């Protein structure tokens, strides 16, 4: 009989046990990813900012212009709002959730304020999509590990 057999058997059992006990974080991320996948609509190919909104500053009134960042819950979303103060001085107020104090940026021109709001919203959407894709990848990896546990 091979003297190393019991050791190898225990090591294999420990590995299977470690794979079957998934990290609670993986389960939470998988749940969030599945919720986000259900809410997501089919995406169009990415467009450049110029294709999406041609010369927005010329089309909109800057005072009151706002955008809200992506996310599954209102309490976790950023919001950027432009307000006019004095002569042609614009400020952008950034808030997080419903009850946060705004962080103001400015003074800046009308065009710069609108561009700032658009850039911040675009960057937030890109980060959100990257996080969502990462969570979906982790969920798929956890599912693979769970599937290998049955072997």
Extract the runs of DSSP E, i.e. beta strands, from 10-141.
66-68, 78-85, 89-96, 103-108
Quick one: which of 39, 54, 24, 36 has its CA closest to 118? 54
Of residues 89 and 73, more confidence is placed in 89
Residue 133 phi, psi dihedral angles, 5° rounding? -65, -40
3-state secondary structure at position 100: coil
Residue 77 placed within a domain: yes
3-state secondary structure at position 94: strand
Residue 20 placed within a domain: yes
132 backbone φψ class: left, alpha, beta (φ>0; ψ -120 to 50): alpha
**Residues of the domain holding 81:** 9-40+60-149
pLDDT of amino acid 58: 47
Distance CA(68)–CA(61), nearest Å, equals: 17
Structure confidence by residue, pLDDT tens digits, 18-55? 444 556 566 666 666 666 665 554 454 445 444 455 45
pLDDT of amino acid 24: 59
Query: Which pair of tokens denotes residue 83?
Result: 């307000």
Residue 103 placed within a domain: yes
The total of structural domains in the chain comes to: 1
3-state secondary structure at position 46: coil
Residue 130 placed within a domain: yes
Asked if residue 98 has a cis previous peptide bond (ω within 30° of 0), the answer is no
Query: Which pair of tokens denotes residue 66?
Result: 């706002």
Bridge partners, 89 (sequence order): 85
3-state secondary structure at position 98: coil
Residue 145 placed within a domain: yes
Structure confidence by residue, pLDDT tens digits, 52-88? 554 544 456 889 999 999 988 888 899 999 999 988 8
Residue 46 placed within a domain: no
């Amino acid at each position: 009989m091979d003297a190393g057999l019991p050791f190898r058997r225990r090591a294999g059992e420990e590995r299977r046990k470690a794979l079957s006990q998934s990290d609670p974080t993986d389960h939470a991320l998988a749940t969030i990813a599945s919720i986000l996948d259900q809410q997501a609509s089919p995406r169009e190919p990415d467009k450049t900012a110029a294709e999406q909104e041609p010369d927005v500053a010329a089309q909109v009134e800057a005072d009151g212009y706002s955008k809200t960042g992506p996310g599954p819950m209102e309490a976790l979303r950023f919001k950027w709002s432009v307000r006019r103060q004095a002569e042609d001085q614009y400020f952008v107020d950034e808030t997080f959730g419903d009850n946060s104090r705004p962080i103001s940026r400015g003074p800046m021109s009308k065009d710069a304020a609108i561009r700032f709001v658009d850039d911040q919203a675009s960057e937030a959407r890109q980060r959100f999509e990257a996080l969502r894709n990462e969570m979906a990848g982790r969920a798929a990896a956890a599912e693979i590990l769970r599937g290998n546990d049955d072997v």
